Amino acid sequence: MARLTCALGPDNAGTVVLGALRSAEESIDATVYEIGASYQWAFTEAVRKGVAVRVVVDPRSEEAMRQRAAELSAHGVDCRLLAQPGSRAHAKLIVIDKARVAVGSGNLNTHDLPFRDRDGGRAGTREWWLVADDVPTLAKAARAHVMRNWRAAVPALAVAGDTPFAQNGPPL
């Protein structure tokens, strides 16, 4: 039976989003406007577990997001940058495996949040996220949207060597 989890940030959105990402067993396909270090580790952790991970990010005009995409690529994430920054309306859509979809209004970052969860990690993004479980038809449609962005993107350039990245708190 389909299930919907609604989370409002910064109190619990991060816990819900990170939990969804960490639950992936086969695949993560995402198109997002921004990924911060506090979420980047979840994508690379999935790769280490053998999950196929494709991520499209909007490089905007900031070098930092291009660098983040290169770091993701260097750690095994199949990462692409939108060729025309800002062209996909601030996408925040993640498809996990065959039947889970996460969509939100907040970027995957916590750089401006003073809040911490009970384990010392940052508690979430600034806005809202919804996670729908057991929704294969919705997941198929959402993945088609991610793939449209994928086709409109260019491969991120990998950075030289194994570039570590900061992690804002422990994994949840």
d(C-alpha 108, C-alpha 37), whole Å: 9
Q: At residue 20, does pLDDT exceed 90?
A: yes
- To 5 degrees, how large is the angle CA 114–CA 118–CA 123? 45
Q: What is the pLDDT of residues 76-132, one digit of tens each?
A: 999 998 876 555 556 789 999 999 999 988 777 665 454 555 555 554 556 788 999
**Is residue 6 classed as helix, strand or coil in its secondary structure?**
strand
One-letter amino acid for residue 20 of the chain: A
d(C-alpha 14, C-alpha 26), whole Å: 21
Half-sphere exposure at residue 141, Cβ-oriented, CA atoms within 13 angstroms: 5
Q: Please provide the distance, in angstroms rounded to a whole number, between the alpha carbons at the two ends of the chain.
A: 26
Q: What is the pLDDT of residues 117-155, one digit of tens each?
A: 555 555 455 678 899 999 999 999 999 999 998 888 888
